[in-house]
């Protein structure tokens, strides 16, 4: 079985390549700039979501489509990849979607909903990995949080079942390697949920400094993100994610992820310690 990974030079793509190699596989790394994938130690091919040349998928049995991080036309890019996969005779798709999929009210979920529909229309057997939040989504600005003693958000007492990227990467490897996962949908999340206050307390313990969670109205949080330099549209999307998390959108207690990868998911304290 030949497996190819799109977005292979991104955070999740790199981890997925390593997880597959650890299981004895030799995946193909697909990247817009193959030179950036040279250190992965696997075959690399040029592949661009916006062009998606089917010839780059020659001989590929299973294509892992890691969702694009370009929000200008993410659905269009995904449809390009799906069309290329069909033209190349790819036998199965594995897609990194979003937790709760078509039931999610998040703005961010709309592209995933449309992509899942496009995959169904393609007729290619698909494995949907509906990923919950990455703990790393919260750790990118820990330096500033520790410095100012505050983590901002709009989730209130909402609980988020986050897991480390490496956990989701292992789920990619497990499902890509076994065709028995074709046609299946997995809701993936961390074993243990946390509130914003829980997360701040864990950061404070790891840093040895006081850090508190400061809950804000959604509009105020969006404005704060713009103040930090984020584009207006992206800030609105992130603020919506946080507000929806307050309603339980990012909570899941099924432990499907840990069962799939055969071990407990990574505790947030471990990811926080590594980030600090």
Where do the domains of the chain lie, and which CATH numbers do they carry?
Answer: 3-132+163-188+253-262 (3.40.50.720)
Exposed / middle / buried, residue 90 (Cβ in 10 Å: 0-12, 13-18, 19+): buried
Structure tokens at 115: 């992509």
- Cβ atoms of 243 and 154 closer than 8 Å: yes
pLDDT at residue 237, as a whole number: 94
**Mean pLDDT, rounded, for 167-172:** 98
**Mean pLDDT, rounded, for 247-253:** 97
CA-to-CA distance for 22 and 251, rounded, in angstroms? 30
**If pLDDT is split at 50, 70 and 90, which confidence band does 120 have?**
very high
Residue where the block lists tokens 């494995």: 127
State yes or no: pLDDT of 266 exceeds 90: yes
- Cβ atoms of 15 and 43 closer than 8 Å: no
State yes or no: pLDDT of 62 exceeds 90: yes
**Mean pLDDT, rounded, for 135-141:** 93
**Mean pLDDT, rounded, for 247-254:** 97
pLDDT at residue 90, as a whole number: 98
pLDDT tens per residue, range 178-194 = 999 999 999 999 999 99
CA-to-CA distance for 236 and 220, rounded, in angstroms? 10
Angle subtended at Cα 99 by Cα 96 and Cα 102, rounded to the nearest 5 degrees: 95
State yes or no: pLDDT of 141 exceeds 90: no
- Cβ atoms of 158 and 251 closer than 8 Å: yes
**Collapsed DSSP state (helix, strand, coil) of residue 246:** coil
State yes or no: pLDDT of 95 exceeds 90: yes
State yes or no: pLDDT of 71 exceeds 90: no
pTM of the entire predicted model: 0.96
pLDDT at residue 187, as a whole number: 98
Q: What are phi and psi of 204, to 5 degrees?
A: -60, -40
pLDDT at residue 119, as a whole number: 98
Per cent of the chain over pLDDT 90 is 96
DSSP 166-196: HHHHHHHHHHHT-GGGTT-EEEE--SS-B-H
**Mean pLDDT, rounded, for 8-34:** 97
State yes or no: pLDDT of 72 exceeds 90: no
């Amino acid at each position: 079985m030949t497996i190819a990974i799109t977005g292979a030079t991104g955070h999740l793509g790199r981890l997925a390549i390593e997880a597959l190699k650890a299981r004895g596989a030799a995946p193909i790394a697909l990247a817009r700039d193959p030179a950036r994938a040279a250190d992965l130690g696997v075959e690399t091919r040029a592949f661009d979501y916006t062009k998606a040349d089917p010839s780059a998928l020659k001989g590929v049995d299973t294509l892992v489509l890691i969702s694009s991080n370009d929000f200008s036309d993410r659905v269009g890019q995904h449809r390009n990849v799906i069309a290329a996969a069909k033209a190349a005779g790819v036998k199965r798709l594995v897609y990194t979607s979003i937790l709760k999929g078509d039931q999610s009210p998040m703005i961010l979920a709309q592209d995933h909903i449309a992509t899942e529909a496009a995959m169904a229309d393609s007729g290619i057997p698909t494995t949907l990995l509906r990923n919950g939040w990455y703990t790393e989504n919260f750790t990118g600005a820990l330096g500033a949080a520790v410095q100012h003693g505050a983590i901002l958000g709009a989730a209130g007492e909402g609980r988020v079942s986050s897991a480390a990227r490496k956990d989701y990467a292992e789920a990619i490897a497990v499902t890509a390697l076994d065709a028995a996962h074709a046609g299946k949908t997995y809701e993936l999340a961390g074993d243990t949920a946390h509130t914003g206050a829980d997360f701040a307390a864990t950061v404070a313990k790891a840093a040895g400094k006081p850090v508190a969670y400061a809950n804000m109205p959604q509009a105020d949080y969006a404005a704060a993100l713009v103040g930090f330099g984020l584009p207006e549209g992206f800030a609105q999307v992130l603020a919506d994610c946080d507000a929806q998390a307050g309603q339980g959108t990012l909570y899941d207690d099924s432990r499907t992820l840990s069962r799939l990868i055969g071990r407990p998911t990574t505790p947030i304290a471990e990811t926080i310690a590594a980030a600090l």
